[in-house]
Chain A
Amino acid sequence: MSLLLSLHLQRGDFRLDIDTALPSTGITAICGPSGSGKTSLLRCIAGLDRAPDGMVQFLGSDWQSQALFLQCEKRGVGLVFQDAQLFPHLSVAANLGYAEKRQFRSIGPNVEEVCNWLQITALLNRDVNKLSGGERKRVAIARALLRHPQLLLMDEPLSGLHDAARDEMMDVLQSLPQHLSLPIIYVSHSFHEVSRLADHVVLLDNGQLIAEGDLVELSSRLDLPLSRQQDAGAVLNATLLGHDHEYQLSTLQLNTDQQLSINQISAALGQQLRLFVAARDISISLEAPTQSSILNSLKCTIDTIDGDIARNKAMNPQVTVRLSVGDQYLLARITRKSRDRLNLHAGQQVFAQIKTVALVNETGVAS
């Protein structure tokens, strides 16, 4: 834990109150609805905004304290804005050169490596004003990396991209940690997007930190607004166990004695995988289903049931059920009527039928 923050900022009606310590390794996501203060927080970390009497400390050195405010250019942070912000009077190569000339430290990748990672080698001589949205963002990330920062800050790097470009960009971002060990703070309004990238998550709402912790753990907590979102779901860790070549399926081991099948993937056996199971893709039955087209059925225990009452105090037609599978959790969204009809209650043993399992990330190397 080595990015210490104590930031209190009043801007008209909006108030930011953050006191926390973020990890200095891996990808940390700052997630919350628009207007929740994500960008303000990022700007304070970058040194672009100053919260009076605030404190920012990175790896033991003060960036902001009572006595000192280190300007952005002295902090050694890489910054990727929502809209790339390439310098319009410079070519792609010169944009990269701008950062290279002003490197924060000597250790780090060179232009060739960065261009390979981000697949922009072919763009080097292009006019930045003639790049597509996705290309602009990739160049912006490359430029930030060439600064050789000690911390990379990204503000909604996927916003404004169409689906194909988003997927491409996501692949690029997911591959980054393989190339360099750089702590990244990633701001996004979408937990789903974050679930593919981050290890550690900070949830903001209305300028306040409402939860912080491991992505897998936060994803299934019913006390957080995440579980109320339309596309709510749980993130699970699993290990690749084997392949069924006849049916093009792969078998995954949850960290219990239970298994899941997914469409065949090319990863090596033993690979750690991260899965996302949407709450609306799970149905609950009291007995093990024997004659069903659904392959994945897990024996679970009901942990909690919540969501009877919507935020506007009206009764909800649906409830969210938190199911424990070993030491992991699933979320299921079922109708309130089904809950009452099956008399579902905490502690009860049930079977979760899972319609779709999405592979979100290959989290590590094969072990």
Chain B
Amino acid sequence: MSDHDWLAIFLTLRLAGLTTLILLVIATPLAWWMANTPWRGKPVIEALVALPLVLPPTVLGFYLLIAFAPSSPLAQFWLSLTGENLAFSFSALVIASVLYSLPFVVQPLQSGFQQVPKALLETAASLGAGRLDRFISIVVPLCRSNFLVAITLGFAHTVGEFGVVLMIGGNIPGRTQVLSIALYDRVESLQYSAAHWLAGGLIAFSFIVLCWVYRLNRYRGLELGNSHLPKAQA
């Protein structure tokens, strides 16, 4: 494999890692809120979060392309905040990946949170645990495998991203050229042996990750029961 390929692999891992980290920070409170709110408008939010599951990635990519264009308010704001252009940047890829992989992290967490018995949390409150304390001492350990599944799916799904990146990335090696795009490039230029390495590697990686996720799903039944994989994979 060429340096170019390695560059793409590292960039992809960096993108997936950072995306997963950000997603954990965003999705955890969002999933907790969705699992507990009595608000009637909840289905609307749930549908919004789940949209990337059903939309062609190019749709999301198209709107993000417009949003990241140098003249857009978001890009202007980003420029004034960071001094960096959003268009064709790594940051743009991260933002897009966060949106695109959101349901893969939110859904396993939400289904885990919903299964934590309320009475356990009330008991913890009576024992002196405040909100955050209850979340950390009761919810997180009980939903440990949900977190693992969410992290794994979020990471793996970002690695497998193609359509959105194709629309907004710009294919700049070392900056925005991720693995799936590099593969596309190899195929376009008829470098089949390099393409085999990348494609085969991705298959092996994804297969191992999914085996791990399904194994977690099987054993977590001991704790709270039931499967919680997202319904569809776009």
Q: Are B126 and A147 in contact (CB under 8 A)?
A: yes
Q: Are A89 and B122 in contact (CB under 8 A)?
A: no
Q: Are A87 and B128 in contact (CB under 8 A)?
A: no
Known: A88-B223, A89-B223, A98-B137. A72 touches B142 (CB 8 A): no
Query: Which among A78, A83, A99 has the greatest number of chain B C-beta atoms within 10 A?
Result: A99
Cα distance A85–B122 in the bound complex, in angstroms: 9
With a cutoff of 8 Å between Cβ atoms, the chain B residues found around residue A87 in the complex are: 120, 123-124, 138
Does any Cβ of A come within 8 Å of B141's Cβ?
A: yes
Q: Are A73 and B126 in contact (CB under 8 A)?
A: yes
Known: A89-B141, A89-B142. A48 touches B127 (CB 8 A): no
Q: How many residues of A contact B (CB 8 A)?
A: 24
Cα distance A103–B128 in the bound complex, in angstroms: 7
Question: How far apart are A32's CB and chain B's nearest CB, in angstroms?
Answer: 21
Secondary structure class of chain B's binding surface, majority of residues: helix
Question: How far apart are A185's CB and chain B's nearest CB, in angstroms?
Answer: 13
Q: Are A72 and B125 in contact (CB under 8 A)?
A: yes
Contact flags (1/0) for A105-142 with B, using CB distance below 8 Å? Answer: 00000000000000000000000000000000000000
Does any Cβ of A come within 8 Å of B119's Cβ?
A: yes
Does any Cβ of B come within 8 Å of A69's Cβ?
A: no
Cα distance A45–B120 in the bound complex, in angstroms: 18
Cα distance A72–B118 in the bound complex, in angstroms: 14
Q: Are A48 and B122 in contact (CB under 8 A)?
A: yes
Could you tell me which residues of chain A, from 74 to 97, have a CB within 8 Å of some CB in chain B? 76-79, 81, 83, 85, 87-89
With a cutoff of 8 Å between Cβ atoms, the chain B residues found around residue A79 in the complex are: 122-123, 126
Q: Are A144 and B126 in contact (CB under 8 A)?
A: yes
With a cutoff of 8 Å between Cβ atoms, the chain A residues found around residue B119 in the complex are: 81, 83, 85
With a cutoff of 8 Å between Cβ atoms, the chain B residues found around residue A99 in the complex are: 127-128
Question: How far apart are B184's CB and chain A's nearest CB, in angstroms?
Answer: 45
Does any Cβ of A come within 8 Å of B202's Cβ?
A: no
Question: How far apart are B4's CB and chain A's nearest CB, in angstroms?
Answer: 47
Cα distance A76–B126 in the bound complex, in angstroms: 7
Tier of interface size on chain B? 10 to 19
Secondary structure class of chain A's binding surface, majority of residues: loop
Partner of B125, one of A48, A83, A103, A143: A48
Partner of A102, one of B120, B127, B138, B223: B127
B140 and chain A: residue at smallest CB distance: A89
Partner of B122, one of A72, A76, A103, A143: A72
B138 and chain A: residue at smallest CB distance: A87
Query: Which among B120, B122, B126, B142 has the greatest number of chain A C-beta atoms within 10 A?
Result: B126
Cα distance A88–B143 in the bound complex, in angstroms: 12
Cα distance A99–B126 in the bound complex, in angstroms: 9
Does any Cβ of A come within 8 Å of B130's Cβ?
A: yes
Question: How far apart are A30's CB and chain B's nearest CB, in angstroms?
Answer: 17
Q: Are A73 and B129 in contact (CB under 8 A)?
A: yes
Q: Are A88 and B128 in contact (CB under 8 A)?
A: no
Does any Cβ of B come within 8 Å of A215's Cβ?
A: no
Q: Are B223 and A46 in contact (CB under 8 A)?
A: no
Does any Cβ of B come within 8 Å of A20's Cβ?
A: no
Question: How far apart are B225's CB and chain A's nearest CB, in angstroms?
Answer: 11
Cα distance A99–B138 in the bound complex, in angstroms: 13
Question: How far apart are B196's CB and chain A's nearest CB, in angstroms?
Answer: 45
With a cutoff of 8 Å between Cβ atoms, the chain A residues found around residue B133 in the complex are: 102
Q: Are A147 and B141 in contact (CB under 8 A)?
A: no
Partner of A98, one of B122, B127, B142, B223: B127
Q: Are A73 and B120 in contact (CB under 8 A)?
A: no
Contact flags (1/0) for B78-115 with A, using CB distance below 8 Å? Answer: 00000000000000000000000000000000000000
Q: Are B120 and A46 in contact (CB under 8 A)?
A: no
Contact flags (1/0) for A145-167 with B, using CB distance below 8 Å? Answer: 00100000000000000000000
With a cutoff of 8 Å between Cβ atoms, the chain A residues found around residue B142 in the complex are: 88-89
Cα distance A146–B116 in the bound complex, in angstroms: 24
Known: A85-B120, A89-B223. A46 touches B128 (CB 8 A): no
A103 and chain B: residue at smallest CB distance: B128
Cα distance A275–B91 in the bound complex, in angstroms: 79
With a cutoff of 8 Å between Cβ atoms, the chain A residues found around residue B120 in the complex are: 85, 87
Question: How far apart are B131's CB and chain A's nearest CB, in angstroms?
Answer: 8
Cα distance A46–B121 in the bound complex, in angstroms: 13
Does any Cβ of B come within 8 Å of A2's Cβ?
A: no
Q: Are A73 and B128 in contact (CB under 8 A)?
A: yes
Cα distance A71–B129 in the bound complex, in angstroms: 10
With a cutoff of 8 Å between Cβ atoms, the chain B residues found around residue A81 in the complex are: 119, 122-123
B120 and chain A: residue at smallest CB distance: A85
Cα distance A168–B130 in the bound complex, in angstroms: 34
B117 and chain A: residue at smallest CB distance: A85
Given contacts A73-B127, A73-B130, A147-B126, 13 further A-B contacts (CB under 8 A): A46-B126, A48-B122, A71-B130, A72-B126, A73-B128, A73-B129, A76-B128, A78-B126, A79-B126, A81-B122, A85-B117, A87-B138, A103-B128
- By Cβ-Cβ distance, the 10 closest A-B pairs, closest first, are A102-B128, A79-B126, A72-B125, A85-B123, A73-B125, A89-B141, A99-B127, A85-B119, A147-B127, A73-B128
Residues of A bordering B, CB below 8 Å: 46-48, 71-73, 76-79, 81, 83, 85, 87-89, 98-99, 102-104, 143-144, 147
Sampled A-B contacts (5; CB under 8 Å): A72-B122, A72-B125, A78-B126, A81-B122, A147-B127
